[in-house]
Amino acid sequence: MSAYVLVAEDDEKQAELIRRYLVHDGHAVTVVHDGPTALTEATQQPPDLLVLDWMLPGLDGLEICRRIRNTGDLPILMLTARYTEDDLLLGLDLGADDYMTKPYRPRELMARIRTLLRRTRQQTHTEAVLLKAGPLTVAPDGHAVYLHGRQVNCTPGEFRLLSTLAAAPERVFTRAQLLHCITDHGRTVTERTVDMHIANLRKKIEASPRRPELLLTVHGIGYKLSRGRRDV
């Protein structure tokens, strides 16, 4: 499963180590060492995957991630020396698909990369299906969400969570079940990640986020996607 991977890492030794492992796995690789160059490469010649260091000179990884998410769904794996839960949530909120904290084991990094590439290609080859719940439509194959026919921009994590809920409207999902659908095995994250995604989605699809009609909390259990009172 070869792919074109862009590596944005200012530590030249780390970048070279990542490059060697990727080449060994059969991938084509471009390495850059600063933020502006990373953004230019990612937008002018989009790779299949971006390995993005948080702390890049000129333009940090979070800003690069935010700008890329405004225009597309390029898979992004964030590398960071930051390890607090708030840092993780910030990265996910801005659209990173996965993250690894430094120092990391190169073999684990390669495993994460293979998982992201496999997931992306599975989504690309998924049969066209539209998931509907009231005024909300989710198109898994196109990675698109529509509310009353107007497209809603979602981060990859928000989209995976919403797709899971939309596949079974009115079914109650526990936080643990939803966490499983948006993360990979081996990552140490908490159910607060789910709550963050729900809060952000409510801002995007609810007329009144504090009085939701679609994304409902089922106290003591989790969440469900209701068909709402605004069915069309």
Cβ atoms within 10 Å of 13's Cβ, excluding its own: 8
**Greatest Cα pair distance in the chain:** 57
Give the model confidence (pLDDT) of 79-130 as tens digits: 988 666 666 666 666 678 888 888 889 999 999 899 888 877 765 544 456 7
Residue 198 — φ and ψ, nearest 5°? -60, -45
Give the model confidence (pLDDT) of 190-210 as tens digits: 778 889 899 999 999 999 999
Instruction: Please determine, for residue 57, whether its predicted confidence score (pLDDT) is greater than 60.
Output: yes
Residue 214 — φ and ψ, nearest 5°? -110, -60
